Structure 1
Amino acid sequence: MTDFLGKGLSFPFRFSPRTGGTAVSSSTSFHPDHIHESITQILGTRLGERIHRPDFGSRLHELVFEPNDRILKALLRQYISQALRRWEPRIRVTSIAFDDNPVVTDQNRLDVHMHYSIIATNTEANFVYPFYRQPPT
């Protein structure tokens, strides 16, 4: 039974047709997908962006103009860990790494590889979050 992983509105919000008719309903996501969508929402939301919950989100947007160096990576680790520890209680982040291969390195995009365990089942999972130092074009 995996009900503890949750079910909720999918992110980004969208509509999907109901089977057997023309009515539409909001799409929902289940279990691991719901956790990944939650991580995306947490890391992609600036502190103060939500009116009724100004402390929700992360500080990642503060790093947009920082040089792509080891200091940026250390701050990314810290801000991601803080935000997920506070806002995603279903998981425990076990490691955060970066793809430093010069062949695939884009100076404006840094892929953050997160490994985490789902606390209730002690199941290992991973997620890649693309951090853009400048808005993607």
Structure 2
Amino acid sequence: MNRATGGAISRAAHIAQSIGDVLSTRIGTRVMRREYGSLLPDLVDHPANDATRIRAYAATALALMTWEPRIMVQRIQLQGATLQGKAVIDIECILVDTNEPLNLSVPLQLGGSL
């Protein structure tokens, strides 16, 4: 189900929606499920260098391995973040139950907005 409209969506769209939620949720902020989320929002104010990019990949992989059991991640590519905290993450993965490849491009809102 699409969380914005309540309408039906495809399986791939639901997985992308779930990934966006997991990655943009700061750990410790979800009531009754404090461990849910990722470390990605904590990296928003870090310098845009190679070390931060590696931390972002690690935070993404760890969160998806923990919270999205429907996929097995094979490749993560972070597309440039803007000053408003918007970024796009491209994920190549395999659906666990069917072994089919799936490529997703997930928009993230990690910081404030203007």
Query: Which category describes the TM-score, using the shorter chain as reference length?
Result: 0.7 to 0.9
The alpha-carbon deviation at position 66 of structure 1 amounts to 0.7
- Describe the superposition over 1:81-105 as per-residue Cα deviations: whole angstroms up to 9, x where unpaired: 0000000001001001234xxxxx5
Structure 2: stretches of 5+ with no match in the other structure: none
- Describe the superposition over 1:47-66 as per-residue Cα deviations: whole angstroms up to 9, x where unpaired: 11111101111111110101
The equivalent residue for 2:19 is: 39
The alpha-carbon deviation at position 11 of structure 1 amounts to 2.5
Aligned pairs, number: 112
In the alignment, is the contact (CA less than 8 A) between 1:68 and 1:107 conserved in 2?
no
**TM-score using structure 1 length:** 0.70
Aligned CA RMSD, in angstroms, stands at 2.1
The alpha-carbon deviation at position 27 of structure 1 amounts to 3.0
Which runs of structure 2 are paired with 1:37-76 in the superposition (5 Å)? 37-76=17-56
The alpha-carbon deviation at position 68 of structure 1 amounts to 1.0
Structure 1: stretches of 5+ with no match in the other structure: 1-8, 15-25, 100-104
Residues 130, 118 of structure 1: CA spacing in aligned structure 2 closer, same or farther, 3 A cutoff?
Answer: same
The equivalent residue for 2:3 is: 11
The equivalent residue for 2:72 is: 92
Structure index of larger Rg: 1
The equivalent residue for 1:121 is: 98
- Find the residue that maps to 1:57 and give its secondary structure: coil
Q: Give, in whole Å, the separation in 1 of the partners of 2:55 and 2:32.
A: 27
In the alignment, is the contact (CA less than 8 A) between 1:64 and 1:132 conserved in 2?
no
